[in-house]
Amino acid sequence: MKLTGAQALIKSLELEGTEVVFGLPGGAILPVYDPLIDSSIRHILVRHEQGAGHMAEGYAHATGRPGVAMVTSGPAATNIVTPLCDAYMDSIPLVVITGQVPYSVIGTDAFQECDTVGITMPVTKHNWLITDPADIPEIVREAFHVATTGRPGPVLIDIPKDVAIESMDWYWPDSVDLPGYKPTNKVSTKLIKDAARLMSTAKKPVIYAGGGILKARAAEALRELAEMTGIPVVTTLMARGAFPDRHDLCLGMPGMHGNYTAITALQEADLLIALGSRFDDRVTGKVDAFAPNAKIIHVDIDPAEIGKVRRPDVPIVGDCRRVIEELVKAVRSDLEKRHWPDLIPWWSEIRTWQRDFPLYYEQEEDGPLKPQFVIEKLRDLSPDDTIVASGVGQHQMWASQHWKFDYPYTWVNSGGLGTMGFSVPAAIGAKVGRPDRTVWSIDGDGCFQMTAQELVTASAEQIPIKVAILNNAYLGMVRQWQEMFYEERYSEVYLSPDLPDYVKWAEAMGCIAFRVDSPEDVAPTIEKANAITDRPVVIDFRTDYREKVFPMVPAGASNSDVLPGPTPNGGK
């Protein structure tokens, strides 16, 4: 069967199970958009290529399946570099297809030519420039394989226009042949035993769960391990929902804006069981001072993460779920043989911290609206399995702190790269992947302005997401740092609450929009928004610009020097 390169590409995507492509056509990718008309694949026409990339990420976050985006060459390709880098940092499986000028003119500075493969090399797990249409099925298979196996990540396929037009003899390869790519799939029995032995003697152990738990679909295994041992669990920003926040063993989020108990438990621990986490600087604070007395068991699918920041006592390279399942077996047999140390003294320390330093804020009845109050109302008035997508900054930290994530794959955020503007398109992608779920974008006013135009996409494609803008009229996190570390010298952080008029803007984009200034209007407006299911909704919450995110570990400081912020009894 003869197919054009373009037809072969679309057919290959179909065979890889692609149900939706986020994209925007243009000159070089034109031939590929033609067979899309006859394809079973749903295409979502975005308003900016960055949106296509973040939607694909949101889709992948929420479903675990690779997100697919397709854009043209040159500026379209450069516009999708940010989502690629975001996905690379957060290990999100993405397959991005970019058009390219005809192979025959590559290197001549042709119209809309750029070296997409060169530009994206450092921000993809791998990328391909197709030079022969006969290679298309093989490269697409390889691309999906690389994106989804081992440590997941983004890949990119660059297809020149003439390659898309030329014909090829269709085939579908049975398997991929990548001699240099063999993700680890066996788990060392000896190291599992070593890990179980360390766990069996620890008096102050903590499970430090990272995003790898979610990537490996290991949430259930993690719960079994925690419940069997009674060891407390912290969930990093990338692992929110990997262990239920309402579980008795859950201490919540550690790190720069983690809660006091999670930070301090890591700091005081004698054993950290790091599962799919990478000792990120936002978690460790000053590395030399991080968890000084802890032995480390480090489990990661990526060998390069082991020992990169902290040398572990037991290094285990492997898929989190398989390793945890093996650990569960080893622990079970060990527990039958001997008595493990009593964790009651450790837990009583932990309970003291929880009692003395809970997350805290004060909402005065007729005072300015507190962002934390808005988030708590959103949480309480929305279904438990609501998916929350956030941007980056104060609102992200408050959302992570104050939401109760009891289900995996309900928290969609930009952790590693910290991409402002992530929330709206990511929420759209998540809603496309999980149309049955309520999806709230919790966004800041600064972030919202970066990618809000994708609400036009949401309206046009009938993707009814909900957006809560925590509008404090500032680049809030920057303002917080200027207040705390730059002697209140505020440099270029003021945005204005009214410019733009968020309600009018949202309405112009086909959304229903509300504005909320006072605490008593919060709940009724959220209820109204939750009742709307046929189009996107935006609420402009006017929040108190003075509110800061606490606790806080100042950059470069030891986690032992965490600033707890206000406490209910005005304690230390």
Partner 1 sequence: MEQHHHILSVLVENKAGVLSRVAGLFTRRGYNIFSLAVSPTEDVRYSRMTVVVDGDSSPIEQVTKQLNKLIPVIEIRELAASDAVERELLIATVKASAEERSHLIDLVSIFDGQVIDVGVASVTVMVAGTPDGLDAVADLLAPYGISELQRTGRVALPRLIRGSRPLKAVKSSDQ
**Which candidate, 376, 384, 371, places its Cα nearest to that of 550?**
371
Stretch that binds partner 1, among 178-186, 208-216, 221-229, 491-499 (CB under 8 A): 178-186
Least separation in angstroms between residue 264's CB and partner 1 is: 30
Establish if 197 lies at the interface with partner 1 (CB under 8 A). no
Residue 483, classed as helix, strand or coil, is helix
117 binding partner 1? (CB under 8 A): yes
- Say whether residue 154 binds partner 1 (CB under 8 A): no
Told to check if 78 binds partner 1 by CB under 8 A, we report no
Q: Among residues 106 and 249, whose Cβ is nearest to partner 1?
A: 106
Least gap, CB of 324 to partner 1 (angstroms): 15
Contact window for partner 1 (CB under 8 A) among 288-296, 312-320, 348-356, 406-414: 312-320
Q: How far is CA 558 from CA 19, 263, 296, 430, 568, in A?
A: 46, 10, 18, 36, 25
Query: Is residue 182 near partner 1 by the rule CB under 8 A?
Result: yes
Total residue count of the chain as it appears in this document: 572
In DSSP terms, 412 is beta-bridged to 389
- Cis amide bond preceding 35, omega within 30: no
- Choose one: 101-109, 116-124, 215-223, 341-349; the region binding partner 1 (CB under 8 A): 116-124
Q: Rule CB under 8 A: say whether 308 interacts with partner 1.
A: yes
Catalytic residue (choose from 7, 11, 22, 49)? 49
184 is a site residue for partner 1 (CB under 8 A): yes
Least distance (Å) from partner 1 to the CB of residue 504? Answer: 44
> How many residues of this chain bind partner 1 (CB under 8 A)?
29
Q: Which of 126, 141, 257, 434 binds partner 1 (CB under 8 A)?
A: 126
Residue 8 touching partner 1 (CB under 8 A): no
CB atoms within 10 A of CB 145: 18
Residue among 527, 252, 246, 253 nearest 378 (CA): 527
Active site residue 453: no
Reported in sequence order, the residue ranges of 52-106 that DSSP labels E, i.e. its strands, are 67-71, 94-100
Cβ–Cβ < 8 Å for 453, 424: no
CA distance 305 to 302: 6
Considering only residues 78, 167, 188, 530, which one is a binding residue for partner 1 as defined by CB under 8 A?
188
Which of these ranges, 9-17, 175-183, 440-448, 454-462, lies near partner 1 under the rule CB under 8 A?
Answer: 175-183
Q: Does 310 bind partner 1 (CB under 8 A)?
A: no
Interface region with partner 1, contact rule CB under 8 A, candidates 16-24, 80-88, 182-190, 407-415: 182-190
Residues 6+ apart with CB under 8 A from 349: 204, 268
Number of other residues whose CB lies within 10 A of the CB of residue 133: 24
Active site residue 49: yes
48-78 as b/e: b if 16+ CB within 10 A: bbbbbbbbbbbbbbbbbbbbbbbbbbbebbb
What the block records as the tokens of 58 is: 């949101």
Any catalytic annotation for residue 405? no
Decide whether 127 or 472 has the Cβ nearer to partner 1. 127
Per CB under 8 A, the list member of 121, 228, 287, 532 interacting with partner 1 is 121
> What's the rounded Cα separation, in Å, for the pair 472 and 476?
7
Q: Is 181 in the site for partner 1 (CB under 8 A)?
A: yes
- Considering the candidates 477, 480, 550, 552, report the single residue annotated as catalytic: 477
First to last CA, the chain: 75
Other CB atoms within 10 A of residue 385 CB = 15
Under the binding rule (CB under 8 A), the answer on residue 129 touching partner 1 is: yes
Q: Cβ neighbours of residue 406 under 8 Å, at least 6 residues apart?
A: 241, 244, 245, 246, 247, 384, 385
Residue 112 is among the residues annotated as catalytic for this protein: yes
User: Least distance to partner 1 from the beta carbon of 97, Å?
Assistant: 18
Q: Is 125 in the site for partner 1 (CB under 8 A)?
A: yes
What's the rounded Cα separation, in Å, for the pair 282 and 31?
45
CA 96 to each of CA 55, 323, 527: distance values in angstroms, whole numbers, following the listed order: 12, 31, 38
Residue 316 in the binding site for partner 1 (CB under 8 A): yes
User: Which of positions 285-304 make contact with partner 1 (CB under 8 A)?
Assistant: 302-304
According to CB under 8 A, which one of 51, 53, 58, 315 is a site residue for partner 1? 315
By beta-carbon proximity to partner 1, the closer residue of 45 and 121 is 121
Residue 236: both structure tokens together: 């990093």
C-alpha 326/C-alpha 306 separation (Å) is 19
Q: Does 161 bind partner 1 (CB under 8 A)?
A: no
**Among residues 179, 339, 365, 569, the one that binds partner 1 under rule CB under 8 A:** 179
Answer for which of 87, 237, 317, 516 binds partner 1 (CB under 8 A) is 317
- Residue 191 engages partner 1 in binding (rule: CB under 8 A): yes
177 binds partner 1 (CB under 8 A): no
Phi-psi region of 74 (alpha: psi -120 to 50; beta: other; left: phi over 0): left
User: Among this protein's residues, is 431 annotated catalytic?
Assistant: no
Nearer to partner 1, 170 or 181 (CB): 181
Q: Does 138 bind partner 1 (CB under 8 A)?
A: no
Which C-beta is closer to partner 1: that of 129 or that of 237?
129
123 phi and psi angles, rounded to 5 deg: -120, 15
Q: Which stretch binds partner 1 (CB under 8 A): 3-11, 44-52, 56-64, 183-191?
A: 183-191
Q: How far is the CB of 181 from partner 1 (least distance, A)?
A: 5
Q: From the candidates 57, 89, 100, 161, give the one annotated as an active-site residue.
A: 161
Instruction: Give the residue, chosen from 146, 195, 209, 526, that forms a contact with partner 1 under the rule CB under 8 A.
Output: 146
Phi, psi of 289 (to 5 degrees): -105, 5
Compute CA distances 272 → 18, 183, 231, 285, 298, whole Å.
39, 25, 10, 16, 8
Which of 306, 399, 450, 452 contacts partner 1 by CB under 8 A?
A: 306
Query: Between residues 322 and 466, which has the closer beta carbon with respect to partner 1?
Result: 322
Query: How far is 33 from 30, CA to CA, in rounded Å?
Result: 5
Residues acting as catalytic residues: 49, 111-112, 161, 477
Chain positions contacting partner 1, by CB under 8 A? 117-118, 121-122, 125-126, 129, 146, 178-182, 184, 186-188, 190-191, 302-304, 306-308, 315-318
